Structures are given as structure tokens and as C-alpha cells.
Structure 1
Amino acid sequence: MKQVVDMSWIDKMAFETDMDGHKVVIDASEESGGSDLGPRPKKLMLTALAGCTGIDVILILKKMKVVPEAFNVIVEADDTEEHPKHYYKAKIIYQFKGKNLPKDKLEKAIKLSGEKYCGVAAVYKKAMEMETEIRIIE
């Protein structure tokens, strides 16, 4: 299935698109000549990764009848120093809050997302080193 994104230039360094009925604006920082009207494009890559795997993990855990009190996906990524600057390493931290959460099921959900379901992770693995960490807060 083909996906299309049509970005329209607004002003200076800002661009806007409609994604699934939602307006998305990206921009550069003021220091880089933009107006800071939205997030930077490259950082949206990390948001896409966090969202993709986060949705997978929650869907899988719900099927396993495991629902945490709270759940965060934190993505830390390291940039290269030289141009074109790009991420060469990323760490996905899955942070769960809840009592008596079965760690084996959390691990299985994360593994399924990373190895089978998350299309964003599948692409990123080809371009950078990726690792995961699980944090459980009781």
C-alpha cells in the first residue's frame, strides 16, 4: 500500500501537511532561520518509533490481559558529528508502572513489536544500532 505525504511550505523554514485528518507543522529553530512553529523533522523519526512500538506493545499486552497503570516509551538517540548528521544509535526504554506486572509478558510484547510488527523499527534497524531497556515502577 502506497503512502503519500504532501508538505506545503508556509514561510521561512516551516512546512505543513495533513496526516490522517491531523494538521502537522514542522519547522526549524529560530537560530536556524525558522520560527519554531513545530518540531524538527529528524526528531519526528524518534516520535514515530516510540509511537509505533508503543501501540504494538499495548495491543499485545491487552491480548495477554496485562494492562499497566501507566506506560511510557522513551527513545534516546545519538547523532553523528559530521554532515549529513543522522542517528547512528538508538535506545528504546519501555517504562511500565504497576503492581505485579509479569516481566516475561512485557518482554514478549516488546520482542514481538521489535521483531515482527513495528514497521518503523524494521527500517531503523537497517540504518542504526538499536537496543531496548525495560523499567518497571511498582
Structure 2
Amino acid sequence: MSDKHVIRTEWKGNMAFEADVNGHKVMMDATTEGGGQNSGASPKKLQLVALSGCTGMDVVSILQKMRVNIEKVNIEVQGDVADEHPKHYTKMHVIYEFTGKDLPLDKLEKAVRMSEETYCGVEALYRKAIEVTSEIKIIES
């Protein structure tokens, strides 16, 4: 039998909602232009957060198993938004920025590819609906 994940979200007034994710509180709200008070993250942008966290955890874990000594990893996810309603993402682009000394590009590429093609469940779902692309940047320390 497969796992089932469950979260609960409570309306906090106006446009604000608070989600409980395993005891972690996630505030969501609309911008002031959207009728909210900007007291939390946009639900749509949290889709970008989910992708960055999912693939980031995969990539770091894989690189650690490969004994690649990374000092820092930053992940930027860019999402192109449809012009018409529903205003969903039409494309996402992931930029992996690795900092370290003499980092092996082939291993970085392999770790990213393994996350994209095998391990990241968030990306697997997104790829069924939209184009997801990526690039790697290396910063020598």
C-alpha cells in the first residue's frame, strides 16, 4: 500500500491561511495588491520552493555518497506564469549553484540528472504538466 500524506490548513482571516505540515507552520497570504496583507508566502510560489527543496535534498545526498566536498549549494527556481487564468506555471527552470574547490562537473551533472530523472517526486509530477529545465553553475572557493 502506498503512503498517504495529509496536511491541515486553517483560515486565519482575510486572505491568510496557515498550514500545519508535521507540526511545522507555513503561513500563506496574498500580496496587498491581491487583497491580502502579505503575511506569508504565496501558495503558487511554494510550488517553486517544493521543487528546490526536493531536488536540493536529493543532490546533496547523492554528492555526499559520491564523496564530493561541496561547501555551499544555492538553488534558484524560475517559474514562467501563464498570461490567462488559471495563472499556472508554464515552465520552470532550476539553477544549481555549487561552491567548492575543484568540483568535478561530471559528478555534479550526474547528481542533478539522478534527482531529475529518478528521485525527485515533485519534479516528476511537474514534468507531466510543464517543461522543467536546469543548469549548473560552479563557484570556485
Which whole-Å CA distance do the structure 2 matches of 1:131 and 1:119 have between them? Answer: 15
For structure 2, the residue ranges without an aligned partner over 5 or more in a row are: none
- 8 A contact 2:7–2:22 mirrored in 1: no
From 113, 118, 121, the counterpart of 1:116 = 118
Alignment of 1:1-138 (within 5 A): 1-138=3-140
| CA–CA separation in structure 1 for the residues paired with 2:34 and 2:44 | 14
Which letter does structure 2 place at the counterpart of 1:123? L
Secondary structure in 2 matching 1:36 = coil
Aligned residues: 138
* Partners of 2:69 and 2:75 in 1: CA distance: 15
Instruction: Give the aligned CA root-mean-square deviation in angstroms.
Output: 0.7
Structure 1-normalised TM-score? 0.98
Higher mean displacement: 21-30 or 46-55: 21-30
Q: d(CA) in 1 for partners of 2:66 and 2:123?
A: 22
- Greater alpha carbon shift after TM alignment, 116-125 vs 11-20: 11-20
- Residue 34 of structure 1, CA deviation: 0.8
Q: Secondary structure at the match of 1:31?
A: coil
Runs of 4+ in 1 over 4 A off after TM superposition: none
Any idea what SS the aligned residue of 1:85 has?
Answer: coil
1:67, distance to aligned residue in structure 2 (A): 2.4
| Aligned residue type for 1:29 | T
Q: What is the alpha-carbon distance in structure 2 between the residues aligned to residue 31 and residue 94 of structure 1?
A: 32
Give the letter for the 2:57 counterpart.
I
With the length of structure 2 as denominator, give the TM-score of the two structures: 0.96
Please state whether the residue corresponding to 2:8 is helix, strand or coil: coil
Q: Which amino acid aligns with 2:139?
A: I
* SS across alignment from 1:95: strand
